Amino acid sequence: MLLAASSIADMLSTQTTSGWLPVFVAAVVHVALVGAFFGLPAGIFIWAERKISGRIQDRLGPTRVGGRFGWLQSLADGVKLLQKEDLIPAQADAFLFRVSPYIVVVAAFMAFMFLPFSSGLVAVAMDIGLFVALAVLSLEVLGVVLAGYSSGSKWSLFGGMREAAQMVSYEVPLGLTAVIPVVLAGSMNLTDIGNMQAGWASNWFIFHDPFSFLAFFVFFTATLASNKRAPFDLAEAESELVAGFLTEYSGFRWSLFFLAEYAAMFFVSGLATILFLGGWWTGFAPLDNWLASLASSCWQGDYIVRVIGMKVFLTKSAILVCVQIWIRWTLPRLRIDQVMTTCLKYLVPIACFLFIGVVVYPLVLLTVLGRTTLLPGTGPFAEPIGERVPVPVVRQPIETASAVVDGPAAVTTEEH
């Protein structure tokens, strides 16, 4: 189904003479699929948060809705929220108050358009995918700030201002650590970055060198803050600000904020998976090799491998989301000055240091050891970045398809 969407415009353009219809149909299919990936994980993770937080606090969490485990709890919550009255305070700037939840949702949704779920399974493949995804994700904060301002409440205004200060600060370490895999891969294309980490898990960028290992944790911390997850959820801070920017919201608009938050959690986890944790590759070289050979054997194999890759990717991302939930229910909330200190006095210098370290590290190794990796000279673990298992042939547009098929995807040898 996803594969069909990726080339549906090409397929339909052979069937009809109309210029805009295939593009339109393809766009609708893409939007529907991305919408499914935007909405479904959010619902699942809201349920997971309730279950995991319950277990961490020695409770059971939801148990009844939908039979066992309360797995339909999110749906029941959604129905309840839809029935609530849509209140707008008399003090509020009604227009901005109405509009700001949509800004948040649109920003989170747009970010998903640039996230590849497997090699080639991406709504908009771009050479600057990482850059534009981070740019779009940072717009989410705009909605939060507007919501805080337009509510006409001091609690909301405080929450919005805190969120703005926090976001402007945490963008810096987030950007600096996101650049580190870009330096390693030599590309900002998320599909390329993912495909370069095929093979053994030692090829994952998190294990590339000590600096990128630390960079992953800095990146993860910065994404927690940019998603306003605990311990950085100062924008809500219900112990001091009632509910921060959410104070005046109810019903559907309130649920839109939450939908966007959980979708963004999943998005940054997916981004961390692609950048540092091998993306859609299993981390087990024989298995990756087998998958890649299956992919190049026939188009059905190609499709199956992509779906398997998507499963791997979703599993890794879901684990990271669970870590986010685990952190939320483990660490106490920081004070706002501690949040800013953490970022400006610790994370930013650390990120700068890691960035310089990643750039210098291969040069130092090359000077001392004569090669760019610490791993032993031969053997399966020693494949340097760029010398990888075959990458599945990507379906090409119809005009150039024949030109690419005759160049079989041999071992990629982009040597240093």
Q: Name the CA radius of gyration of the chain, rounded.
A: 23
**399 lies in the site for another protein, by CB under 8 A:** yes
CB of 332 to another protein, least distance (A): 27
Q: Is residue 23 a contact point for another protein (CB under 8 A)?
A: yes
Q: Could you tell me the smallest distance in angstroms from the CB atom of residue 131 to another protein?
A: 5
Question: x/- binding map, residues 176-195, to another protein, per CB under 8 A?
Answer: ----------xxxx-xx--x
Tell me if 69 contacts another protein by CB under 8 A.
Answer: no
Chain positions 109 to 138 lying near another protein, rule: CB under 8 A, are 120, 122, 124-128, 131-132, 134-136, 138
Amino acid at 387: E
Query: Out of 139, 243, 308, 323, which residue is the one contacting another protein (CB under 8 A)?
Result: 139
Q: Which amino acid belongs to residue 59?
A: R
Minimum CB distance to another protein smaller for 190 or for 351: 190
Binding of residue 403 to another protein (CB under 8 A)? yes
Q: Give the whole-angstrom CA distance, residue 268 versus residue 320.
A: 9
Does residue 102 interact with another protein by CB under 8 A?
no
* Total binding residues toward another protein, as defined by CB under 8 A: 68
Peptide bond into 181 cis (omega under 30): no
Structure tokens, 12: 């339909």
Buried/exposed 237-262: b ≥16 CB within 10 Å, e otherwise: beeebbbbbbbbbeebbbbbbbbbbb
* Binding segment (CB under 8 A) for another protein, from list 36-44, 78-86, 91-99, 231-239: 91-99
The residue (of 9 and 108) whose beta carbon lies closer to another protein is 9
Identity of the residue, 171 or 236, whose beta carbon is nearer to another protein in the bound complex? 171
Distance between CA atoms of residues 184 and 324, nearest Å: 26
For another protein, the closer of residues 167 and 265 by Cβ is: 167
Stretch that binds another protein, among 29-37, 156-164, 207-215, 306-314 (CB under 8 A): 156-164
With binding defined as CB under 8 A, does residue 25 bind another protein? no
Among 145, 147, 178, 339, binds another protein (CB under 8 A): 145
**Residue nearer to another protein on the CB measure, 56 or 99:** 99
Q: Which residue has the tokens 């998958």?
A: 291
Q: Is 351 in the site for another protein (CB under 8 A)?
A: no
Beta bridge partners of 387: 413
Supply the DSSP symbol for 347: I
Q: Three-state SS for 231?
A: coil
Tell me how far the alpha carbon of residue 311 is from its chain's centroid: 15
Nearer to another protein among residue 136 and residue 218 (C-beta): 136
- Whether the CB-CB separation of 88 and 98 falls below 8 Å is answered with yes
Should residue 53 be labelled a site residue for another protein when binding is judged by CB under 8 A?
no
208 φ/ψ angles, rounded to the nearest 5 degrees: -70, -45
What CA–CA distance (Å, rounded) separates 313 from 303?
15
Contacts (CB under 8 A) with another protein, residues 371-390: 386, 388
- The reply to whether 12 sits near another protein by the rule CB under 8 A is no
Binding status of residue 339 toward another protein by CB under 8 A = no
Which distant-in-sequence residues (6+ apart) come within 8 Å of 277 by Cβ? Answer: 204, 206, 216, 316, 320
Q: What angle do CA 399, 404, 408 make, to 5 degrees?
A: 160
- Contact pick of 12, 31, 56, 99 for another protein (by CB under 8 A): 99
1 is an interface residue for another protein by CB under 8 A = no
Q: In this structure, which amino acid lies at residue 407?
A: G
Q: Which residues contact 114 (CB under 8 A, 6 or more apart)?
A: 122, 123, 124, 126, 129, 132, 133, 136, 190
The residue type of 371 is R
Q: In the bound complex, what is the minimum distance in angstroms from residue 290's beta carbon to another protein?
A: 18
Do the Cβ atoms of 130 and 166 come closer than 8 Å?
Answer: no
Enumerate binding residues for another protein (CB under 8 A): 6-7, 9, 19-20, 23-24, 93, 95-96, 99, 120, 122, 124-128, 131-132, 134-136, 138-139, 141-142, 145-146, 149-150, 152, 157, 161, 164-165, 167-168, 171, 186-189, 191-192, 195-196, 386, 388, 391, 393-397, 399-400, 403-404, 407, 409-416
